[in-house]
Amino acid sequence: MIINRHDGHNHPCTVVETNIDDTTPEILGYVMERLFEAGAGDVFFTPIYMKKCRPATRISVMCDVASIPAVEHILFTETSTIGVRKYQVERTCLPRKAVTVATPYGEVQAKESVYGDTRRISIEFDDARRLAKEKGVPLKEILSYASTPNGTQ
């Protein structure tokens, strides 16, 4: 899937969008899960106002061309939308690799990305949450160790 390549180069993808003004947040959360399962590389919600000043949510989905039919199917069957917009964009992602970060509570998985002289470590949230629950410590304590992966100094 082109959308998930992380090699520092530009890759084409499609943004599929729709505006929804009559769907509950719980349903939107479910829709987001389904869209990721269908191959979306990113899904995000933006609060907007529609005509007559109705509050609404814009659903934006980034996906590769092959995922468009599945994305549209979910939007048309799981929401009240009667239309979607599609446009092509290019996406540039930093190269990244999986690393392990040691904390006083145990190891957690993370991603390391590099841009020029800048190196970033991002602990995998679900792994940090798991470790925080297992050890009975605040999640923010685990996340504070997002600076040095094992073996890379």
pLDDT digits (tens, 9 = 90+) for 86-117: 999 988 888 889 999 888 999 999 999 988 88
Quote the CA–CA distance of 39 and 71 in Å, as a whole number: 8
DSSP-derived secondary structure letter, 146: T
Residue carrying the six token digits 């629950």: 133
Tell me what the pLDDT averaged over the chain comes to. 89
Residue whose C-alpha is closest to residue 21's, from 65, 51, 66: 51
pTM, two decimal places: 0.76
Comparison of pLDDT for 42 and 3, the residue scoring more: 42
**Token pair belonging to 79:** 């929401």
Instruction: Yes or no: say if 46 and 96 are a contact pair by the CB < 8 Å rule.
Output: no
Domain 2-92: assigned CATH number: 3.30.70.1380
Quote the CA–CA distance of 148 and 153 in Å, as a whole number: 7
What stretch(es) of the chain map to CATH 3.30.70.1380? 2-92
Q: In this model, does residue 7 exceed pLDDT 60?
A: no
